[in-house]
């Protein structure tokens, strides 16, 4: 039986333990994610460590609950790629936004320290207009946790200005 990895292990792992945990996560995903398992069966030498982006355009890539063989019923967030006019955007469905947030916050803080010690400024004008941007979601979350004065910068005013989102 393949056990579900404890999500907190992902955030507190020693470098020497990474490979073993990565292999356990891969086995779990292979057993509980039909799209990933199909890819691994069709391309055994290539499919063990990644899933091509094209699958996120043509399939709902979700891991099933091993107890029920169904996708957990939570309120997901669906991020979409920007793509181009003629392309179908890829979709990244995040079933647990708290884990997603914890992941990018921990990643930032491991490199730079606590977010609340920074004034977080986001200059992402072409992204602000579109829905479903994971980058906007991450930056907005970090702005909410940042020092007073954090916000998105606007290029519409010469020299830029801060377009604050209320905390």
pLDDT per position as a tens digit, 13-45: 888 888 888 888 888 888 888 888 888 888 877
Q: Can you state the angle between helices 97-112 and 134-145, rounded to 10 degrees?
A: 60
Taking the C-alpha atoms of residue 70 and residue 29, their distance in angstroms, rounded to an integer, is 14
Q: CB under 8 Å to 154, separation ≥6 — which residues?
A: 125, 160, 161, 162, 163
Is 0.75 topped by the overall pTM? no
pLDDT per position as a tens digit, 69-125: 666 666 788 888 876 656 788 888 888 888 889 989 988 998 999 999 999 998 876
């Amino acid at each position: 039986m393949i056990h579900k990895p404890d999500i907190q292990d992902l955030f507190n792992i020693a470098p020497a333990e990474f490979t073993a945990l990565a292999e356990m996560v891969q086995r779990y995903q292979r057993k509980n994610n039909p799209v990933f398992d199909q890819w691994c069966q069709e391309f055994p030498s290539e499919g063990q460590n990644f899933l091509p982006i094209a699958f996120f355009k043509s399939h709902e890539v979700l891991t099933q609950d091993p107890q029920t063989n169904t996708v957990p019923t939570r309120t997901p967030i669906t991020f979409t790629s920007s793509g181009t006019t003629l392309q179908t955007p890829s979709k990244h469905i995040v079933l647990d936004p708290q884990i997603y947030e914890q992941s990018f916050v921990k990643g930032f803080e491991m490199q730079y320290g606590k977010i609340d010690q920074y004034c977080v400024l986001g200059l992402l004008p072409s992204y602000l207009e579109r829905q479903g941007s994971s980058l906007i979601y991450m930056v907005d979350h970090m702005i909410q946790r940042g020092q007073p004065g954090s916000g998105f910068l606007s290029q519409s005013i010469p020299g830029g200005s801060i377009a604050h989102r209320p905390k």
